Amino acid sequence: MRERNELEGMLHDAAGRLSPAHVAALVAHPEAVCSALVAAADALTANDRERSGAEMITGPASATVEVDEADRRMAARTRTGAAETLLTSEELAARTGLRTRQSVHDWRRKGRIVGWQNARRGYVFPAAQLDERNRPLAGLDRVTGLFADSYTAWVWLTTPRPSLDGAEPLALLARGEVERVTKAAQGDRQGDFA
């Protein structure tokens, strides 16, 4: 009984640190609160087990996943290929000869380059969209305007397309095949996946 009273006191203290919106969300989802508490209790009572991976909280029984297995599963759900070089607005301005990072963002808003919000802060810009003279690839602006956002455009540009006989659109733009890539982007956006 004493432990139950201590638990209620801890829950009361924790609730006092939550915002009204957080409290309302927890009250609206009591099953989630119960599941989280049971999972936390299971984790705390498992001290005698060696734990070297990430624990999955869903399902009737907990399962431990080794780090290597977690990496393999993540890789299976991630696009393949080499890591892309992403530039900050300052780095892109320096490469392209622009005077300010504001100019970089003007280019992005006009669709001349591709860039998206970074998870931490600021925007990032793939270096691969620049030619050998550090200028945006010719025709890039014709393709980016066909997509709802820069990231979607970039995924399209860097994914081999059936409409381009399995070629990657960005590679074709780098070779000067602007019309072919533009037509493929228009067709793909309209649902012509041939």
- Number of CB atoms found within 10 A of residue 184's CB: 22
How far is Cα 51 from Cα 170, in angstroms, rounded to an integer? 44
How far is Cα 86 from Cα 40, in angstroms, rounded to an integer? 38
Q: What is the pLDDT of residue 187?
A: 92
More confidently predicted of 20 and 122: 122
More confidently predicted of 18 and 61: 18
Q: What is the pLDDT of residue 84?
A: 73
Q: What is the pLDDT of residues 90-121, one digit of tens each?
A: 999 999 999 998 999 999 999 999 999 988 77
**pLDDT above 70: percentage of residues in the chain:** 65
